[in-house]
Structure 1
Amino acid sequence: MTQFIVAITNPTEVATALEGGADRLFFIPGSADAPTAQRHDVIVSAAGTPVWMAISEALASSALGREAELAGFEAMVLPPSMNEGVASGCRWMAKECPRRIAWIATEAPPRAELQGLKGKGFAGVLLAPPTGENRLLDHRSPAVLARFVKACRQAGLISVLAGALEPPDVPRLLALAPDMILWSGRWRGEDRGRGPDGTALAQMRRLVRSAASAEREGEEVATDVVFVRDHVVDMTVGAYSHERGMRQRVRFSVEAEVIRHPREPRDMADVFSYDIITDAIGRLAEAGHLEFVEAMAERLAADVLADQRVKRVMVRVEKLDLGSGAAGIEIRRSAAPG
């Protein structure tokens, strides 16, 4: 189950983050020389909730002999680009805080680099936009993020997706099944100097929990249909040799029967976002060449049915560049019982 981490910058923000339902806290000190008492106050205020702390190169360089400052922190988050001298200076942390998380901005590292991080003793990788105030989905497509999460899983690393999330972002990121989602900024347009917004945090927590706690009920449960129709993308598909490397138009139509919410929707936690469907199509389009539209339809249906709120799905896939008409397949699939 994906966990929810909230970034804080001082001890006064801890209570708001915890009231908002944070599973973990990510403490980002305002400076390398932040007082030891401030770090201690964060741990005390967290009252047992796991806390990570960001370690800058400046802090790592000046940290020798300050082992006590890491006492109580679950993990330290530091850039893997630190030179060997600075990295050596970080080894003092190992006794008090043995877990290390690599903080990587902007670029999703290749699989070989992730495996290298595992070999260097990193426990996970945090993927963030260029600054914490930006949305990750503004910089990387869901397909790229999905490959990052999968590569982390294969390398035995914790995957963390971070950014100044808006409510519609959360279901899209949850569909990728990262280990953790880190909310590292306020919503756009709001005063960034006031610290975390408790109401916004609570809604984010509800979004994270709503998808995780959904359960498929009996056949008679009421459903609604969420659909995406006539969604056209350019991609490579086909069994003929001349179709390899040749992009052609493919049209997708998807109808998902989702469990009806018991009350009138009030926020994103109460609805099934059609972005989940369009993102699944996008990931399929970027996954590489497939010979058969039948295989595409099956993969897309399985991807949509992975959401516990979906009971049945119809997927239609049509190739549009074969002549005057369209050719393809329509399938209907149901979620497995239980």
Structure 2
Amino acid sequence: MTLMLASVADVAEAEIAIVEGADIVDLKDPFQGPLGALPIATIRDVVAATAGRRRVSAVAGNLEMVPAVLHDAAEALIATGVDYVKIGFLPSAAAAACIDALRPLAKRVRLVAVLFADLAIDLSLLPRFAAAGFEGVMLDTAVKGKGRLIEHMDIAALKGFVDACREVKLSAGLAGALEPPDISRLLLLEPGFLGFRGALCVGRDRKARIAAPQVKLVRDLIPRERGTKEAAEEFKVDLRLLAARGYSIEPASKTEVDRVFVHELVLPVYIGAYDFERGKTQRVRFCIDVDIRRSTYHAEDMRDVFSYDIVVDAIRLILSRGHVDLVETLAELIADALLSYPRVCRVIARVEKLDVIEGRVGIEITRERAAESGKLHQLFAGLSDYAATKTKG
């Protein structure tokens, strides 16, 4: 389950984040760079005001990679009573020594290392973080206003990071100027948490105040932690969210659909059954049509749509696995991936190789969901009992 982390600057902002459902209240000074630390007094005030209603994290500051400096900053934050301490790791030959210096503190607080996607990332540090007892590692961006996380690392590279964290039992966090349309794409990767600041603020300006409507929009796009009261309440409060999460609530006889499509997407692909086709890429064109059950709500924001980005990301994630022998296999994998979303009822996948002959060769397949898909289905686990109860009435 992916948690929502909301970065706030004071008690008032923390209260908004709590009321609107953020899972983790993260303390940061947005005027002081990517990991600007707040005054210790402010952190104590937020911890006291939160009173255990949410987990609280705080950043240690934009610090030099000096073991003693990082240790002392983390020690000061532990004394405030926060649940998590976030520490930035810049590219440095001293990284290993800094990790070792923080090792004793991992028994007293959940340590989260922050790496920066717009700087050099050393994934070989992940086993060191795990061995030192860190809770997780977060990817962020160091230079704000110079691109979102997903512009610095594509979806396949981000999947590699999340998978690498999972292999060593670290929670993986993703942040860095994330916007609402990014959420459905990143949820595919199943990170431990997604972090936000600018998307929660007035005018999407990370230095402005956070506002309840913006926090609610982001919260609604991330499924609640399973088993919580809030998770069950979503079914009662806003049926619109069911469609946004990939649910289908129309009766089985209802056949009205909308079509989301990606056409003429050409990518280099490792594909082919012949020996001469191995070890090099070929141009492959993708034309994908996805029929989705029509929502009863008019689309107003990202809560109401099935994004074409999901289609493109599904293709890129499949290609990141390596060589595929057959276009038939590739088309089937794409259809299977998209039909895993319960709101999707049919996929038409056309896959064409462009470098085989003076023309195009390939396949087009149509795959449909079974008839029973008209019943209430859910993409995210944990709410099935409540959902079944609500659909019997």
TM interval, short-chain normalised: 0.7 to 0.9
Where does residue 215 of structure 1 map in the other structure? 247
- Whether 2:319 is the aligned partner of 1:308: answer no
Q: Cα distance, 1:167 vs. partner?
A: 2.2
Corresponding letter in the other structure for 2:190: A
Provide closer, same or farther for how the CA distance between residues 319 and 169 of structure 1 changes in structure 2, counting only shifts above 3 A.
Answer: same
Q: Cα distance, 1:252 vs. partner?
A: 0.9
Where does residue 103 of structure 1 map in the other structure? 114
Q: Cα distance, 1:161 vs. partner?
A: 0.8
Where does residue 41 of structure 2 map in the other structure? 37
Cα RMSD (Å):
3.0
Can you list the C-alpha shifts for 1:89-110, whole angstroms capped at 9, x where unaligned?
A: 545644542x211111116856
Distance in structure 2 (CA, Å) of the matches to 1:33 and 1:325: 59
Distance in structure 1 (CA, Å) of the matches to 2:313 and 2:245: 22
Paired residues for 1:22-171 under 5 Å? 22-28=22-28, 34-47=38-51, 48-56=53-61, 57=63, 60-63=70-73, 66=76, 69-71=79-81, 73-80=82-89, 83=95, 87=99, 90=102, 93-94=105-106, 96-97=108-109, 99-106=110-117, 112-133=124-145, 134-171=147-184
Paired residues for 1:276-315 under 5 Å? 276-315=310-349
- Whether 2:263 is the aligned partner of 1:229: answer yes
Q: Cα distance, 1:64 vs. partner?
A: 8.5
Tell me whether 207-216 or 294-303 shows the greater mean CA deviation. 207-216
Distance in structure 1 (CA, Å) of the matches to 2:292 and 2:278: 36
Where does residue 268 of structure 1 map in the other structure? 302
- Whether 2:307 is the aligned partner of 1:240: answer no
Q: Cα distance, 1:66 vs. partner?
A: 4.3
Pick one of 202, 205, 209 that aligns with 1:195: 209
Provide closer, same or farther for how the CA distance between residues 11 and 60 of structure 1 changes in structure 2, counting only shifts above 3 A.
Answer: farther
Q: Give the TM-score taking structure 2 as reference length.
A: 0.75
Are the counterparts in 2 of residues 6 and 184 from structure 1 also a CA contact under 8 Å? yes
Are the counterparts in 1 of residues 259 and 292 from structure 2 also a CA contact under 8 Å? yes
Are the counterparts in 2 of residues 265 and 271 from structure 1 also a CA contact under 8 Å? yes
Pick one of 307, 332, 352 that aligns with 1:318: 352
Are the counterparts in 2 of residues 101 and 122 from structure 1 also a CA contact under 8 Å? yes
Distance in structure 1 (CA, Å) of the matches to 2:120 and 2:188: 18
2:262 match: secondary structure: strand
Provide closer, same or farther for how the CA distance between residues 286 and 265 of structure 1 changes in structure 2, counting only shifts above 3 A.
Answer: same
Tell me whether 129-138 or 207-216 shows the greater mean CA deviation. 207-216
Can you list the C-alpha shifts for 1:268-311, whole angstroms capped at 9, x where unaligned?
A: 11011111111222333443222211221122222222333223
Distance in structure 1 (CA, Å) of the matches to 2:56 and 2:153: 27
- Work out the number of aligned pairs and report it: 336
Are the counterparts in 2 of residues 103 and 126 from structure 1 also a CA contact under 8 Å? yes
Distance in structure 2 (CA, Å) of the matches to 1:32 and 1:274: 35
2:21 match: secondary structure: coil
Distance in structure 2 (CA, Å) of the matches to 1:283 and 1:42: 40
Distance in structure 2 (CA, Å) of the matches to 1:175 and 1:22: 20
1:206 match: secondary structure: helix
Where does residue 18 of structure 2 map in the other structure? 18
Q: Cα distance, 1:32 vs. partner?
A: 8.4
Are the counterparts in 1 of residues 353 and 361 from structure 2 also a CA contact under 8 Å? yes
Distance in structure 2 (CA, Å) of the matches to 1:271 and 1:220: 22
Can you list the C-alpha shifts for 1:247-284, whole angstroms capped at 9, x where unaligned?
A: 22111111212222111111111011111111222333
Distance in structure 1 (CA, Å) of the matches to 2:97 and 2:191: 32
Any stretches of 5+ residues in structure 2 without a counterpart? Answer: 224-240, 378-393
Where does residue 4 of structure 1 map in the other structure? 4
Q: Give the TM-score taking structure 1 as reference length.
A: 0.86
Distance in structure 2 (CA, Å) of the matches to 1:15 and 1:117: 32
Are the counterparts in 1 of residues 198 and 205 from structure 2 also a CA contact under 8 Å? no
Corresponding letter in the other structure for 1:141: D
Provide closer, same or farther for how the CA distance between residues 204 and 224 of structure 1 changes in structure 2, counting only shifts above 3 A.
Answer: same
2:22 match: secondary structure: coil
Any stretches of 5+ residues in structure 1 without a counterpart? Answer: none
Provide closer, same or farther for how the CA distance between residues 249 and 164 of structure 1 changes in structure 2, counting only shifts above 3 A.
Answer: same
Pick one of 266, 277, 289 that aligns with 1:255: 289
Distance in structure 1 (CA, Å) of the matches to 2:294 and 2:194: 26
Are the counterparts in 1 of residues 114 and 138 from structure 2 also a CA contact under 8 Å? yes
Are the counterparts in 1 of residues 139 and 173 from structure 2 also a CA contact under 8 Å? yes
1:194 match: secondary structure: coil
Provide closer, same or farther for how the CA distance between residues 22 and 242 of structure 1 changes in structure 2, counting only shifts above 3 A.
Answer: same
Distance in structure 2 (CA, Å) of the matches to 1:154 and 1:64: 26
Tell me whether 234-243 or 124-133 shows the greater mean CA deviation. 124-133
Provide closer, same or farther for how the CA distance between residues 315 and 34 of structure 1 changes in structure 2, counting only shifts above 3 A.
Answer: closer
